[in-house]
Amino acid sequence: MERKPILDVKVEFENFKPVSMEGENGSVVMIPFSGYVKGAIFEGIVEPCGVDTQVKNAAGIRHMSARYMLTGKDKAGQDAHIYVENNGWFDENTGKMTMPFHTVPTFYTDSKELAPYLHRAQFVGEGHTLEDGLHILFFEIEH
C-alpha cells in the first residue's frame, strides 16, 4: 500500500547563511531556511524565519530540531498557519546519514478545520533528497 504524505515541505536554503560554532563538548550549526508546502490538508509557504538547529555532542550524536511557520490555506480554503517543531537524532559514528532520515514532528495550528486532526493524531517525518532538493514529508502513523 502506497503511503501518501499529509504535507510535503520543500526546503530552500538559498540567500541564507548558516551560523556555527565548535567547542570542547560538541558543535552547533543553525541553518536558516524558507520554502513551500503542499498537501491534502494545506498549501502555502514556509516563512523565511525557519531554522534547523543541529547540535552534535562529544559522543557524535547529532540532534536536529527544525522550527518553522507555514502560512497558507487549509483544506477548507481558509487562511491558516501551522507551526512545526520537527526533531530527529543521527549517529555521526556510522560515517554517513541515512536517507531518508526520520523525524518526530509536533504541530500547532490556528485552523479550526485542521486543529482536531493535527493536535491529536501522531505523525512521522521523512527527509528525502529529490531532484529539486530537500523535501520533508509528513505521514500520519497508522494504528
Which domains can be identified in the chain, with CATH numbers? 7-140 (2.40.160.20)
pLDDT of residue 100: 80
pLDDT of residue 89: 82
pLDDT of residue 98: 66
pLDDT of residue 94: 60
φ/ψ (deg, to 5) at 66: -100, 135
Q: Which CA distances in Å does 57 have to 16, 22, 24, 64?
A: 25, 10, 9, 12
Q: Which of 107, 129, 125, 126 is nearest to 42 (CA)?
A: 107
C-alpha cell recorded at residue 141: 502513523
pLDDT of residue 20: 97
pLDDT of residue 59: 86
The CA distance from 48 to 51, in Å, is: 9
Q: Which CA distances in Å does 20 have to 30, 86, 117?
A: 6, 20, 36
List of the chain residues with pLDDT < 50? none
pLDDT of residue 111: 98
The residue assigned the cell 491558516 is 80
- What is residue 93's DSSP assignment? G
Length of the chain measured in residues: 143
C-alpha cell recorded at residue 42: 494545506
3-class DSSP state of 115 = helix
pLDDT of residue 90: 74
